[in-house]
Amino acid sequence: MADLREYAEFNKEFLAVVREAKKAGKSVDDVAKTWKMPAKYTGYGAPQEARLKANIQVIYDELK
Q: What is the pLDDT of residues 7-30, one digit of tens each?
A: 999 999 999 999 999 999 999 999
pLDDT digits (tens, 9 = 90+) for 31-43: 999 999 999 998 8
pLDDT at 43: 86
- Residue among 59, 53, 14, 51 at smallest CA distance from 30: 53
Q: Is the pLDDT of residue 55 over 90?
A: yes
Report yes or no: 13 and 36 within 8 Å, Cβ to Cβ: no
pLDDT at 42: 84
Cα gap 14→30, rounded to integer Å: 15
Query: How far from 40 is each of 30, 54, 56, CA to CA, in Å?
Result: 23, 23, 20
- Residue among 30, 29, 28, 32 at smallest CA distance from 47: 32
pLDDT at 28: 98
Is pTM beyond 0.75? Reply is: yes
